[in-house]
Structure 1
Amino acid sequence: MTGPEDLMALVAAHGLPVVGLIAVVEGPIVTVLAGWAASGGLLPLWPLVATVVLADLAGDLGFYLLGRHGIGWVPDRLRRRLGLRPDRLDRLAEQFRCRGGRILLLGKLTHSAGALVLTAAGAARMPVAPFLVCNLLATVPKSLAFLALGHIAGHTWERIETWIVNGSWMLLALVAMAALIWWRRRASAA
């Protein structure tokens, strides 16, 4: 990733397009740094909000398309090794039909599972419109929170990046434990 000094120089020279392009790939910490740039008057706030939200959605759509169209490029033998058998893909599609919104929201909020969940949504052939709506519902508050964090404490971006990474892994572990407990209770009740 580009360092904050380099990013601030690029932002000063080129503005929002630079933020948008970098945020597609590396959203959270770039959003924090962009919030910090906005607090220093380098970027206008409301166009920045729109830019980081659209960039996040574009990155998510990229993962979705990878899942939707990328499986066809994977050789059959590797697909079987990865467990991407037709019956499993059918079950995955059923999960996204029944609980797609919840799955996407959890994936987006845990951040560490986000890419996997977004790709799975594409592989499950979740319709694009509900995919985008659910992502938008998770992206707006998440982006606003990271912008506010950057606005308030962007100068501590390295510490914030560590918090984001550690917090997302801890949240993923909690979700996995809750799912395991639910699954065990369900299995023992049957």
Structure 2
Amino acid sequence: MDGSLASLGGWVVTIISSAGYLGVAGLMAIESACLPLPSEIIMPFAGYLVSTGRFNLVFAATAGAVGCNVGSTVAYFIGAHGGRPLAERWGRYVLLRREHLDRADRFFHRFGGPAVLIARVLPVVRTFIALPAGIARMPQVPFQFYTFVGSWPWCYALAYVGYVLGKRWNTDPRLQAIMHRFDFVVIGLLAIGVAWFVWRQLRGTHRACDLER
């Protein structure tokens, strides 16, 4: 599993390093289109490139937010034209469970249009909120506005973390010592967390298939 994490991280690094801001936007679009690619990997590396002088922090956050709009628009139209049945039928292939849709549905119906804004800083819900917005045929202008305004601070915060760590990496020997000392612990915890997440998703998918039978 740690090899898989390293491969995923390496792929993200390669895309951003070669495509720049466009790579950041493209990767964030994938995440916002309900695919399991965590922004917690994407944006901190973009922030690291800010610390090297290659990126600008505001531009990196803006590229990430634009990507969120692009991916969310795809998910919106899936919801608008295919509805929930389409999401439930094909979502299992990207580890999307009915519980995720239920949570996003409840959140959207509770808060209405502003849910798209609020959800951008909430785990799980932020990834799937565009689907119920599309099913409800929320008007495009407020949908795009709320998506961008809600996504930008999230992208900025993650990029800023990467920027700060990048600046300190080469100037503070203590940080390097701490990271080298605990890197295996961090990788192990991430591996356990990802394995638990995938196991839960697959278990839920198999259970849903058994119920359908």
- Do both proteins adopt the same fold according to a TM-score greater than 0.5, normalized to the shorter chain? yes
SS at match of 1:8: helix
Counterpart in 2 of 1:21? 26
User: 1:129-149, CA deviations, whole angstroms, 9 ceiling, x for partnerless residues?
Assistant: 111122122112111111111
Structure 1 residues 159 and 107, CA gap change in structure 2 (3 angstroms): farther
Kept in 2: contact 1:28–1:143 (CA 8 A):
no
CA distance in 2, matches of 1:130, 1:145: 23
Structure 1 stretches lacking a partner, 5+ long = 75-81, 83-91, 170-190
How many residues were matched structurally?
147
Quick one: which of 34, 58, 62 aligns to 1:50? 62
Quick one: percent identity of the two aligned structures?
A: 20
Pairwise CA RMSD: 3.6
CA distance in 1, matches of 2:137, 2:13: 39
Structure 2 stretches lacking a partner, 5+ long = 31-36, 87-97, 99-104, 170-178, 198-213
CA distance in 2, matches of 1:114, 1:47: 22
Instruction: Give the alignment of 1:134-173 within 5 angstroms.
Output: 134-153=146-165
TM-score normalised by L of structure 2: 0.55
Structure 1 residues 131 and 159, CA gap change in structure 2 (3 angstroms): farther
TM-score normalised by L of structure 1: 0.61
* Residue 23 (structure 2) pairs with residue 11 (structure 1): no
User: 1:67-105, CA deviations, whole angstroms, 9 ceiling, x for partnerless residues?
Assistant: 11122874xxxxxxx8xxxxxxxxx7xx75x83234223
SS at match of 1:43: coil
Structure 1 residues 142 and 159, CA gap change in structure 2 (3 angstroms): farther
Counterpart in 1 of 2:112? 100
Structure 1 residues 6 and 68, CA gap change in structure 2 (3 angstroms): closer
Larger deviation, residues 102-111 vs 30-39: 102-111
Runs of 4+ in structure 1 deviating by more than 4 angstroms, as ranges, are 154-162
Counterpart in 2 of 1:185? none
* Residue 66 (structure 2) pairs with residue 61 (structure 1): no
Counterpart in 1 of 2:51? 39
Kept in 2: contact 1:66–1:122 (CA 8 A):
yes
Quick one: which of 134, 147, 153 aligns to 1:122? 134
Structure 1 residues 10 and 104, CA gap change in structure 2 (3 angstroms): closer
